A and B are shown apart, each in its own frame.
Chain A
Amino acid sequence: MNKKREFDHTNKLRMDYVLLTAVLILLLIGVLMVYSASSVWSDYKFGDEFFYLKRQMLFAIAGLIGIWVMVKIPYFKWVNWAVVIYIACFVLLIALFIPGVGIVRGGAKSWIGVGAFSIQPSEFMKLGLILLFAKLLPQNQHKLPNFLQGFMPMLLLILLPFGLIMLQPDLGTGVVFVLSGMLLLFIAGAKISHFIGLASLGLVGLAGLIISAPYRISRIQAFLNPWEDPLGDGFQIIQSLYAIGPGGLMGLGFGNSMQKYFYLPEPQTDFIFSVMAEELGLIGGTFILFLFFIVVWRGFLIAVHAQDLSASLMAFGITSLIMIQVMINISVVIGLIPVTGITLPLLSYGGSSLTLTLLSLGILLNISRYATIK
C-alpha cells in the first residue's frame, strides 16, 4: 500500500500542466466575461460597473490559492475523511430545513450561513459523494453487480441527499448530483441492466416530479416552442438566442453585447455563455467549448492512468461534475434542452461555486501527480 503514496519527488512540480493551463485560461476569460456581462446590471444595481468583477476576482484568487493548497494535499487524505465529510454535508442539507437556518434565494432554500459567508451545502454534497464513492466503491467493487448487496446501498447514498436537494427545491443541482453519482457507479462496474431498470424507474419518477411542480411543465413547453409565449417561460431561451444569433462568426466584439442591457436575466450567471457567444462569436464560443473539452479530456486521462481505482473514481467524479454542468448549462443556453438553472463552471459569476470548482480541480491536479500519463 505504501508504494501508492510515493510519487516522483525528483520533479516537485510534476502535474498535468495541460489541464492547469486550460483551467487558467478559462478562469481568465471567465473573469473578463463576468465583467463584460455584468457591467450594465452592476452599474444599475450598485452604481459600480466593477462590482461583480471585483468580487469575482477575489473568489478567483481565493480559488487559485485553493488549487495550490489542494495540489499539495495528497488526494487519499480526503478519502480517509470521506465518511465524515459525507455525513457533515448530509447534516448541513438537513439543517437547511430548520426554520431560520436555510436562506431562500431564487425561490429555493439552498443556502446556509451569514451574508457573504453563506454556502450551498448541495455543492459540497456533490464532492462529499464523490469522496465517499472513491472510498467505498473500490472496497465493494466485487459486490456491485449484486443488486441488493452492492448496487442498492450505493444507490441509497445517492438518492437520500438527492431527495433533500429536490426538496429545496433545486432541480439543477439535483440532476447534476444524480448523474455524477450514477456515472461513478457505472464506471466502477455496476451492471448495465440495473441502470436500464433504474432509467425506466427514473422516467416514472421524472413524470411524477413534473406533475408535482407545474412550473416544470411550462418550462418544458417553453423549450419545445419558446416563441409561443415569448414573455413568459420562453423568455429566457429567446433572450439567449437573441444574444447568440447576432454574434455570428466573429461576434460583436468584447463589451458590445446588446442582450446584456437588461434583456438577458442575470447575464453574468446562468447565461454568461450567451454573452460570450454574442461578443466573441462562433469562434469564441467554440474556443470556450474546446477549452472545456481539454479539461474533460485531461480529466479522463487522469482517471484512466490514476494509480489506483480510488484515484480513478475521484478523478472521474470531479471531471464528471464539471463536464455535466458544462453540458447542461450550454445545452440550455443554445436551446438544446429546457431551462434548468445550472451555472457554467469557472465562467459564471458566483463565489462559492467558483471556489469549490477550483478546489476540486486542485484535487484532480494532485491525482495527476501520481498518475502515469505518457
Chain B
Amino acid sequence: MRRIAAITVRKRLTAVFLLIAVYFIIMVCRLAYVQLISADEIIEKAEELWSRDIPLYAERGKILDRNGEVLVDNQLAPSLAVVPRQIDNPESVAEKLTDIIPISKEDALDHLTKVAAVEIIHPEGRKLSEEQAEQIRMLNEPGIYLAQDSKRSYPHGEQLAHVLGFTGIDNQGLMGLELSYDDELSGEQGALSFFSDAKGRRLSQLSNRYKPPEDGNHLSLTIDAEIQSIVERELDIAEAKYNPDGALAIVMDPDNGKVLAMASRPNFHPAEYQSVSPEIYNRNLPVFSTYEPGSTFKIITLASALEEKLVDLDQDTYYDDGDIKVGGATLHCWSSGGHGSQTYLEVAENSCNPGFVSLGQMLGEERLFTYIEEFGFGEKTGIDLQGESKGIMFQEEQIGPVELATTSFGQGVSVTPIQQITAVSAAINGGYLYEPQIVNGLVDPVTGEKIKDVEPVMKERVISQETSEEVRRALESVVAKGTGRGAYVDGYRVGGKTGTAQKVGPDGRYLENNHIVSFMGFAPADDPEYVVYVAIDNPKETVQFGGVVTAPIVGTIIGDTLRAKDVPKREGGLEKEYQWTDVPMVEVPDLIGESKNNLRHYLNNLSLDVQGDGDTVISQSPKRGEKVESGSTIRVYLGDSD
C-alpha cells in the first residue's frame, strides 16, 4: 500500500514537472517572440512614447517667375518652443522672456507651466527676429528651444500681390497661389526628438534624434518679373495720375495663353495683408471683375464676320450718319455726326458703332453668339487662380435685334478681363483658344530640376489663319490711324483696340461720367508675342476714353517690354500718319467751352493732350480753324466754366 502510494507520488511529481518544463519553454518562446519578432513594432510605439518632438518646420517652396527669379522668398524667423517640465524656475524665465518678446509675465508663465510635452509660445514667440533669437540663445535656460522656422519675404514688394496671395502665421497658404498650391509648397515637417522620462524630463544620457524637414517645392510661374515690373510701374503712374476707382492689367503670350504679368489696383503688400480690407486682397480684378467690355469686344465681332467672309475690309463700305435704328430703338455712334462713308477697315479704325452693328446683323444672332461662346465668353477660362468670374451673356431667349446690335459693339454683355485677353489672343494667334495659364510647373528645391511641367492647353480652334491675319491688319491700322494711336510705338508694329464702357449703377442704369476705359494691344502685329490689356475704372480729371487714358499706357508697356526683351524692330509696318499719299487735313474744331466729357467725341481723327483741372475747356492749341494733319495732337487746358 505504502509502496504503491509512493509510486503514485513519484508519477504525479514527474507529470507535474514535465508540464512545468513545457510551460517554461512556452515562456522562453513568448519572451523571444516579444523581443525578437514583434520588437520593431513595439520599439516604434515605445519611441513615440519616450520622445518629445521639437518641430522643425520645412522651408516653404519659393515662388519663381518663368526665368527663375524669386518672387516670394523665405527668411529665417525661428519660433520659441519650451518643454515645461525641463524648466527649473518658470518665474524667472518668464520674467526674462518679457524683455525679449512682447508678452506679459502672466501669459509667459502660463506657457512655461503648461501641462504639455512641447509648448510653442504662440503667437508672441513666433517668427522671431535675429536679435530676439540671439537673446533667447543667450539665456541658455534648460527647456527653452528655438524651433527652426521661417516667414515669407517679398523681394518685389507689392508686385503681383493678388496672384501670389499670402500665408498665415503657420506659413499656411491663405490666399492666392499660396493657398491653391499650399500642398506643393508646404513640404513635410521634421522634428528634433529627445527622449524623456514619463514625467517629461529630458533624459540627457540619450542622444537626440533628428528627422530633417522636407522642404516644399518651388512654384514656377509663367509670370515674367521684368514685364510685371513694367506693368506695375505703369499702373502706379496711372493711379497717381487719374486716381481711379480701380485698375488692372494683364500681359499674355498669345501663342500659348501664358500670363506674363497681371496686376490689380488697389494693391496691398502680402506681408501686411491684414492692414487692408478683405475686399482688396480678395479681388484679383483681372479675373474677378466683370463689366461691359465696350469697344475692345468689337475685335470678336470683327473676327467672326471676317471668318464668315461677310465683308472685305478694303472693298466693302458702310455709311455712318451718326446713328442706326434697330428694332425701334436708335443706337448712336460715339462720334457725333457720324463717320460718313467708310471701308470696314475704317469702321474698325474709327470704332464706329453703327458699322459694327451692321457686322452683327450680317452675322445674325446665332452665328455671333456661337462665336462669342467659342471665344470663351460666358464661361470661366479655367485659369489656375481663385475667384474667377463667368461674366454674363444674354440668354438665348432674350436675344432680339437690340441685344444683337449692342453686343456687336460690346454693350449689354459682361465679361472678365482674362476672358477678353484670352479671346483676343485666339483672334490674333491664328485662331487657337488657349486656357490661360499662370503656373509653369514645380521645381525641386534641392536639385533645382523641374519635377512637374504644366503644358499649355489648347481648347478650341476658333478662326482660320487668314482671318487672324486680317484681324491683326485691322487692329494694327486702328493703332496707326484710328482711335488707338496713343498706343503706337515707333518701330514696332502695334495692333490694338480701345474700349470705353459705361458702368451699370446699383439701380441697373448706366452711371453718368463713370466709365471703365480700356485698351487691348499687341505686338508685333505680324507675329504677336505680347498681348496687353489695361483697364482703368473711372479715371478722374481726364477724358474718360480708352484712346486717351489706356492706349498710351499699353503703348508704354509694349514699347518697354519689346525693348527689354530685345524684340527686333519691324519694317514694313503701318506708319502712324503716312499711310495714304494724301494725308487728310482736318480743321481744328472750336473746343473752348466744351465740357470735358464731350471731348471724346472729337477723338475721331485727332489726339488730345488734356491738361489742367476742371470740367470745361478754357484754352486750346492750335486754335480753331487751323488745318492740321489728321491724327495731330491738340493740347487743351481745362478750367472751371465760370
Contact = CB atoms under 8 A, between A and B. Distances in A.
Interface of A: 40, 141-142, 183, 186-189, 241-242, 244-249, 258-259, 261-263, 277, 281-282, 285-286, 289, 292-293, 296-297, 300, 303-304, 309, 312, 316, 323, 327, 330-331, 334-336
Given A187-B12, A245-B42, A262-B199, A285 B17 contact: no
Given A189-B5, A245-B34, A261-B197, A303 B46 contact: no
5 contacts: A242-B46, A244-B42, A258-B46, A293-B21, A309-B6
B174 interface: no
Contacts of A241: 34, 42
A142 B2 CA distance: 9
Interface in B381-434: none
A261 B27 CA distance: 26
Contact of B30 (A296, A297, A323, A335): A335
A261 B203 contact: yes
A293 B39 contact: no
Q: Which 10 A-B pairs have the closest CB atoms?
A: A245-B42, A261-B197, A262-B198, A242-B46, A282-B35, A300-B17, A263-B198, A245-B39, A189-B8, A246-B43
Nearest to B37: A245
B9 A189 contact: yes
Contacts of B13: 187, 300, 303-304, 312, 316
Given A186-B16, A327-B27, 12 more contacts: A188-B9, A241-B42, A244-B34, A245-B39, A246-B42, A258-B50, A259-B46, A261-B197, A262-B199, A289-B24, A309-B6, A327-B24
Interface of B: 1, 5-6, 8-10, 12-14, 16-17, 20-21, 23-24, 26-28, 30-32, 34-36, 38-39, 41-43, 45-46, 49-50, 195-199, 203, 206
Contacts of B14: 300, 304
Contacts of A247: 35, 39
A289 B41 CA distance: 25
B636 to A, nearest CB: 84
Nearest to A192: B12
Contact of A282 (B5, B36, B197): B36
Q: Which of B1, B32, B41, B198 has the most CB of A within 10 A?
A: B198
B484 to A, nearest CB: 75
A334 B38 contact: no
A286 B31 contact: yes
Nearest to A238: B45
Contacts of A289: 24, 27-28, 31
Given A289-B24, A304-B10, A282 B31 contact: yes
A304 B27 CA distance: 25
A349 B49 CA distance: 26
B34 A335 contact: yes
A286 B206 CA distance: 27
A136 B429 CA distance: 114
Contacts of A141: 5
B39 A334 contact: no
B540 to A, nearest CB: 69
A295 B192 CA distance: 48
A249 B10 contact: no
A261 B198 contact: yes
A295 to B, nearest CB: 11
A240 to B, nearest CB: 9
Contact of B197 (A40, A187, A285, A297): A40
A245 B49 contact: no
A263 B28 contact: no
B9 A246 contact: no
A323 B198 contact: no
Contacts of B42: 241-242, 244-246
Contacts of B34: 241, 244-245, 277, 334-335
A262 B197 contact: yes
B9 A312 contact: yes
A157 B31 CA distance: 37
B9 A277 contact: no
Nearest to A312: B9
Contacts of B38: 245
A309 B41 CA distance: 51
Nearest to A324: B20
A339 B195 CA distance: 28
A11 to B, nearest CB: 26
Contact of A336 (B1, B5, B30): B30
Given A241-B42, A242-B46, A327-B27, A282 B32 contact: yes
Nearest to B7: A189
B1 A334 contact: no
A189 B35 contact: no
Nearest to B38: A245
Contacts of A248: 35-36, 39
Contacts of B24: 289, 292-293, 296, 327
Nearest to A278: B35
A195 to B, nearest CB: 11
A187 B32 contact: no
B16 A187 contact: yes
A181 B180 CA distance: 75
B194 to A, nearest CB: 12
Contacts of A249: 35-36
Contacts of A258: 46, 50, 195, 203, 206
A277 B20 contact: no
Contacts of A293: 21, 24
A323 B21 CA distance: 11
B193 to A, nearest CB: 13
A183 B42 CA distance: 37
A309 B31 contact: no
B623 to A, nearest CB: 96
A120 B573 CA distance: 113
Contacts of A189: 5, 8-9, 12
Contacts of B35: 244-245, 247-249, 277, 281-282, 285
A188 B34 CA distance: 38
A247 B23 CA distance: 22
Contacts of A331: 27
Contacts of B196: 261
Q: Which of B14, B20, B31, B46 has the most CB of A within 10 A?
A: B31
A187 B36 contact: no
Given A241-B42, A258-B195, A296 B36 contact: no
A304 B198 CA distance: 49
A40 to B, nearest CB: 7
